[in-house]
Amino acid sequence: MDIKRNYYEDIELFKSNTILVWSILFLIFLAFLPWLITTYRPLGLSIYIVNLITIHAIVAIGLNILVGYTGQISMGHAGFFALGAFTAVILIVRWSFPLWIALPIAGFVSSAFGFILGLPALRLKGPYLAIATLGFGMTITTIIKHMEFFGGRMGLQAPKLYLFGTPMKDIHYYYVIMIIAVLMTIGAVKLIKTRVGRAFIAIRDSDIAAEAMGVNLTYYKTLAFAVSAFYTGVAGGLYAFILGFINPESFHLIMSITFLAMVVVGGLGSIMGSIAGAALMTFLDIKLQAIQDIPAIGPALVIFSEKYMSIAGISNVAVIVYGLIMILIVLFEPLGIFGFWIRNKRYWKTWPF
C-alpha cells in the first residue's frame, strides 16, 4: 500500500482514493461552514474568528516551510505580515488596484524582503539568526511608523471592498480567504513533496551533507525565506481587509512569537499541524477573554483571581490558561497537535492490539 515505485507516484497529491474522497468531503464542509456557524454557533465561533484563523493558518504554513522544513528560524514574521498588509492597502487606496492583483503583489513585496533577510541566514545559525530576524521585524514596523506615506504611526484605513456592487461582508471575505488558503495549502504540500521541498529537508537535516549532495545552499536557503515571506505577505494583505484599519503598532514582537508558537504547538514539519496550531491558538487567544462566562468554573475563577491575583483579575487567569495549554501540549507531545493525530490514528488502526 505504501510502496512507491517511482518519483511521480510519490508526488501525487492524493495518495489513495480514500484521501481523495475525504478531501472532497472536507471541501464541501468548508463551503457550508459559514451556514453552520450562523445557524448553530458552535463553540461561540463567528465567521470573523474563522477568517482570522484561516489567515493565521496561511502564515503558519509559510512559517513552517521555513522553520519546520528548512530548519531556519524567524522571529520577524510580523514584519512580513505588516509589509503585506500595508502594500495591499496602499496599492488599493492610492492606485486603485483590484484585490486579486494587489494580493499577489503584496506577497511578492514581502518575498523580496524575505530574500534580503535570507542572505544573512547563509552565515547565521540558531540563536544568532533568531536575533537577526527579530531585528528585521522590529525595523520594518519602525520604518513604517516614520513614513507619512504609510500613514505614519496613526495607520491606514483599509477601503471597503465591493463584490458585484455590494459591500463585502465577513461571509464574502470568508470565501475569498478560504479559496486562497486552500490553493496555498495545496501549493505548500506540492512544494514539500517535490525537488525544492526535498532540498529544504536535506538542509534542515544537515546543511553540509546537503551541499555535498549538490544542493545549492545559497539558492535554497534564500528561497525558503522568500516563499515563507510570500505566504505571510498574502495573509497580511487579507488581514488588513478583515480588520478594516491597520497601524504599525499592531504588528509587534508578540505577534511574531505567537506565529512561531502556532507552528511549534501545531507540529514542526507538518502542513496539517500548522493549520491545527493556528486554529487552536487563535481560538483560545480570543475566546479565553470570556473565560468568566463558562458555567460553574467561570465564577469560581473570578473569585479566585480577585482573592489571590492583581486587580486586573480574571484576565490574568486567561493568560495563564493560554500559556498552560501551550506548555502541556509541547511537554506531552513534542510533535504538537500533529503528534496527537498520528498517535490516535495509529492507535485505532492497530486496534485491538
Partner 1 sequence: MLKKNLTFIGVLMVMVFLIAAPATAQKVRGVTDTEILVGQWGPQTGPAAPWGAVARGTDLLFKIINEEGGIHGRKFKYYLRDDSYQPAKTKAIAKEFVEQIGVFAVVGGIGVATGMTARDYLMENKVPWYAPITGVYEWISPIQKYLFAQYPLYDDEAFNLTGYLHEKLGYKKIAMFYQNDDYGKQGAQGVERYLLRKKISLVAKVSAEMTDRDLSTHALKLKNSGAEAVIMWTMPTHAALILAESAKIGFKPQWATSNTLSDSALMMQITKGLWAGMINSFALELPDSNLPLMVKYREWHKKLAPQERWGTFYYAGIAFAEPFVEGVRRAGRDLTADNWVKAMETLKDWKGISSPITFTNPMDRQGGKHVFYGKVKPDGNIERLTDWIRITK
Give yes or no for a contact between 228 and 65, defined as CB atoms under 8 angstroms apart: yes
What are the cell numbers at 268?
A: 514542526
Cβ proximity to partner 1, 9 vs 293, nearer residue: 293
Which residues of the chain form contacts with partner 1 (CB under 8 A)?
Answer: 41-44, 46, 48-49, 52, 145-146, 152-155, 157, 160, 239, 242-247, 249-250, 254, 280, 283-291, 293-295, 297, 306, 311-313, 315-316, 318-319, 321, 325, 328-329, 332-333, 340, 343-344, 347
Q: What's the min distance (Å) between Cβ of 113 and partner 1?
A: 22
The label of the residue with cell 497537535 reads: 337
Q: What's the min distance (Å) between Cβ of 3 and partner 1?
A: 29
Q: What's the min distance (Å) between Cβ of 203 and partner 1?
A: 31
Cβ proximity to partner 1, 18 vs 39, nearer residue: 39
Give yes or no for a contact between 227 and 234, defined as CB atoms under 8 angstroms apart: no
Q: What's the min distance (Å) between Cβ of 115 and partner 1?
A: 28
Cβ proximity to partner 1, 125 vs 146, nearer residue: 146
The label of the residue with cell 546543511 reads: 207
169: left (phi over 0), alpha (psi -120 to 50) or beta: beta
Cβ proximity to partner 1, 16 vs 46, nearer residue: 46
Cβ proximity to partner 1, 81 vs 113, nearer residue: 81
Cβ proximity to partner 1, 41 vs 195, nearer residue: 41
Q: What's the min distance (Å) between Cβ of 169 and partner 1?
A: 9
Q: What's the min distance (Å) between Cβ of 165 and partner 1?
A: 17
Q: Could you write out the DSSP letters of every residue in 192-254?
A: HHSHHHHHHHHHHH-HHHHHHTT--HHHHHHHHHHHHHHHHHHHHHHHHHHHSEE-GGGS-HH
Give yes or no for a contact between 266 and 280, defined as CB atoms under 8 angstroms apart: yes
Exposed (0-12), middle (13-18) or buried (19+): which is 302, by Cβ within 10 Å?
Answer: middle
* Consecutive H or E run containing 323: helix 314-332
